[in-house]
Amino acid sequence: MKTGNPAACKYVGEIMRLGNISNCIDKTRKRLLECKIHLISLLPVKKTDHPKINHDAVSSRSNPGIIKVNKSLEQVALQKGIVYIDMYSRLADESGNLAIPCTRERLHLSPRGYEIFAETLKPYMKT
């Protein structure tokens, strides 16, 4: 679908991705009947002028947009009866940005960020 409205394109893209996630959940359930499915939120980013940042990658992402998608993901999880894991809140600072100790260059996780990620997942991995 082509349109001159970038916001409309972004919205259509989000709906298509959510549909794909929903389809993946359905297919997994059919193939792996005993599988426990967990849906993890998108992670926050940190906007900055830091020279190590890939500004093209970060500039296309915004925390308000990520929060919107996460709310939709949470709804998909609720509708499908699966566990939603809010990793965004665990890695965000008080301003809603990716916390400095959790990142090396404001986009990817640092070792501390991965520690928090793993700690958050541990309770869901118990059998």
Is there a domain that residue 106 lies in?
yes
Task: Tell me if 12 sits within 8 A of 18, measured CB to CB.
Answer: no
CATH number, residue 48:
3.40.50.1110
Is there a domain that residue 19 lies in?
yes
Is there a domain that residue 101 lies in?
yes
- Give the structural domain span for 86: 6-124
Name the pTM for this structure: 0.79
List beta partners, residue 92: 98
Work out how many domains the chain is built from and give that number.
1
Is there a domain that residue 85 lies in?
yes
Q: DSSP per residue over 102-123, as a string? A: GBSSSSSB-HHHHHHHHHHHGG
> 3-state class of 81 per DSSP?
coil
Is there a domain that residue 44 lies in?
yes
Query: What does each of the 127 residues of the chain score in pLDDT, given as a tens digit?
Result: 333 444 434 444 665 677 888 988 999 999 999 999 999 999 998 766 656 555 666 666 788 888 999 999 999 999 999 999 999 999 999 989 888 889 887 778 999 999 999 999 999 987 5
The backbone torsions φ and ψ at residue 81, rounded to the nearest 5 degrees and listed phi first, read 70, 35
Is there a domain that residue 119 lies in?
yes
Is there a domain that residue 1 lies in?
no
Is there a domain that residue 51 lies in?
yes
Report the distance separating Cα 111 and Cα 107, nearest Å. 13
Task: Tell me if 58 sits within 8 A of 107, measured CB to CB.
Answer: yes
